Structure 1
Amino acid sequence: MDAPPLRERAEAALRAQRLHTPAGDNAVEHYLALREREPDAGVAAALAELQPYVLISTEQALAQQQLDEARRLIGLLARMDAQAPALPRLRESLRVAQERADRDEGARIAEAPKPVPAKPAPSSALARTVPPSAPLPAPVVAKAAPPPAPKETTPPAPVVRSAPEPASLPRLLRDAAPRYPLAARNRRIEGRVQVAFTIQPDGSVTDVRTVSAQPEGLFEQAALAAAARWQFEPTPHRVSTTRTLTFRLPPDSKG
């Protein structure tokens, strides 16, 4: 396909929020095909802006054990940027998840009940030659000794554990403003999204998820994509925290 139709398809998919799904008809794949024909700065910028969305959706697919979808998205991310820092971690997570799924499937098959072959019935001639068995004596049931009386014990003293002090939040080194969704901009809607995330020891952000959104269904994906691009200062341990992103239209667009 020529470059102009590809560009139109990519922009149409972007307007319709088909960022990386469905497979074969989404903005990422159309921009990748366009990059092969016209590797200009606009295409590179569009793919760079879409990359956090692919990253977040990959992590969500892994968390939900949607391994086929995670594998497809990792392939897309590798085509967008073969040197993406998250690729080794995502591939390792996929490998571990696939091994776990294979083990679970093997255990399920091993624990499935096996059919027991039926024993052949004795022939009538053999049945006539076998004398009836003598009645068995009634079993002797031994009387169980009464249980010993419970000993009085002193209840254990309650254990009081002090809660760990909250870890200090590392300093934010690189912020990333969220992309204002086109649907919200056209309808002049403002809002806010609270996201929860984990800061890794190297300062990168993972496990990004939405805590609340007002209104719902408009700004969540943009907030998640922005959070994935944040970079904090290195920390000796993981830190889980939250942050609220506010979406406000510029004053000149509210008229």
Structure 2
Amino acid sequence: MDTRNLLDKRHRARGAAKPLVVAIIVVLAVLVIGAWFLIIKPHQEMMLEDAGGHPSGPALASTGKTPPPADVASMDVNQLLGEARKAINEQRYLAPVGNNAFEFYLRVLQKQPSNQVASDALRETFPYAATSAEQVINARDFDESQRQIDLLAKADPANFTLTILRSKLDAQRKLLDKQQQQVVDQQKAQQVAAQKAASEKAEADKLAEQQKIQAAEAAQLKARQARATPQPAQQVAAVKPAAGDAGDSAGIGNSGKNSEAILVKGAEPIYPQIALRAHQSGWAVVAFTIDPNGRTNDIHVTSSQPKHVFERAAIDAVARYRFTPAMKNGEAVPSAREQRIEFNL
């Protein structure tokens, strides 16, 4: 047989096979598309209808206090599915407690672990329920957030979304703790500042009061010292000269000048502090000699009231007195005198 003829036959056979392969592929594609629209899609729609319909988008789960239906424990599978569909339509995925889609579907699976409708519905609504739980976390309702996360974990314990939700819940708790601690610290700082201001004010008031008391005591002391200063009119008569001296003075009369000592400089006695604090008044009678230079000496207290309180102050005051000395026959002579010094408040 001619080799060329064989090659031509093979080429013709291959050329005829190509349209056949294309036709088979087209038929298979048509069958797949037809199966999608005629079998798979209607089945999914039926499943979604049984599950209560697919939500158009995530929304906040109802958190109202809608009471659960009566006798939930005695409901059969169909009744539980009906309640679950109603909850889905009202977007009650995880709340309120006992009246939400996830709890109804989980009850169905407890009764029929192989129930495909409940399993598919939980899987389909899980993302929306997780979004609802996240919103509750952001609202910082931590107890409710934990309950919803636990409910999601019963439906799909291995879902990675649970890890994210738990992390967010923990972060929100820590953030709230930090904010609360900041508030507490701020309140403590305000209290400390208020206490410090009050303490400083009390110290300032106390110091002002002490200064006022000291000024009043100083004024009182000055007034008492002024009252206690002897004046010439207050002087007690000096010791009278002896009768002989009087005669001599009278006899000499015109031969020389005779006069008594005259106070020219007094001194304020210093009020004793112990008496000042005790608001104590008194007096002291001081006897002394005036020498020819007009100075005082031989100063001593003859009587006082009360005893041992004003003696020293009286003696110190008299020691600072200055006199014009007594004159006899034109000459300065010593003279004796007593002085009563009052100490009054």
Same fold by TM (over 0.5)? no
Larger radius of gyration: 2
TM-score (norm 2): 0.33
TM-score when normalising by structure 1? 0.43
Which one has a larger percent helix, Structure 1 or Structure 2?
Answer: 2
